[in-house]
């Protein structure tokens, strides 16, 4: 597993420090108001579990699972919410957490639907990685861990074919691992 990594971009210690800082920032901004922290499965689970423990404010947790519709290997760009949050979000402050902001389609769709269909009044977004070069939708996260170049990254929740999510760091996957 480790041998498939060309370069470590963010060590476990880098991630820990940055997540703690994000947690402090979110806690300050919430100013004691209770928020629902909503994880987008599956990629955000490691980030989410560390982030909620770094938020020093009352929170509830919930989950959503989004996927892109597509045919073959190409995505149509349409996002389907496979799992909806179970709790009542009407009038709530919601912090949507994802591992990476890429084209922006997933986060954009989720934020709209949380507002329009679930009635949340204050929706904020928190992503660990921001791959700005790939953006096709005009969206910026309210909280960002690290900007990242347009390289294939895995680890700390990020996968290739559902593998490498359990690496404790984030690294660049060697091209021979995903090119045949």
Tokens of 176: 């021979």
Q: Is 78 exposed, middle or buried (0-12, 13-18, 19+ CB in 10 A)?
A: exposed
* 130 interacts with ligand PRP by CB under 6 A: no
CB of 142 to ligand PRP, least distance (A): 15
Neighbours of 74 (CB within 10 A): 8
For the chain, helix (H) and strand (E) counts, in that order, are 3, 9
* 40 interacts with ligand PRP by CB under 6 A: yes
Q: Would you put residue 3 in left (φ > 0), alpha (ψ -120 to 50) or beta? A: alpha
* 20 interacts with ligand PRP by CB under 6 A: no
Mind telling me the catalytic residues? Answer: 102
CB of 60 to ligand PRP, least distance (A): 21
CB of 64 to ligand PRP, least distance (A): 10
Nearer to ligand PRP, 30 or 131 (CB): 131
Residue of 23, 43, 155, 171 that binds ligand PRP (CB under 6 A) = 43
Chain contacts with ligand PRP (rule: CB under 6 A) = 40-43, 67, 98-106, 159
């Amino acid at each position: 597993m480790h041998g498939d990594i060309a370069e470590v971009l963010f060590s476990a210690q880098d991630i820990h420090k940055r997540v703690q800082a994000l947690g402090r920032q979110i806690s300050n901004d919430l100013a004691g108001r209770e928020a629902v922290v909503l994880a987008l499965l599956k990629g955000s689970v490691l980030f989410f579990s560390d982030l909620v423990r770094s938020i020093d404010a009352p929170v509830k947790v919930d989950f959503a699972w989004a996927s892109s519709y597509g045919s073959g290997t190409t995505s149509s760009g349409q996002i389907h919410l496979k799992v909806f949050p179970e709790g009542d979000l009407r009038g709530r402050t919601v912090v949507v957490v994802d591992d990476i902001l890429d084209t922006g389609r997933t986060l954009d769709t989720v934020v709209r639907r949380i507002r329009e269909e679930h009635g949340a009044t204050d929706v904020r977004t928190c992503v660990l990685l921001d791959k700005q070069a790939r953006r096709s939708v005009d969206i910026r996260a309210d909280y960002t861990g690290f900007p990242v170049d347009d390289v294939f990254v895995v680890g700390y929740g990020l996968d290739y074919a559902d593998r490498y999510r359990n690496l404790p760091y984030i690294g660049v996957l060697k091209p021979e691992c995903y090119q045949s």
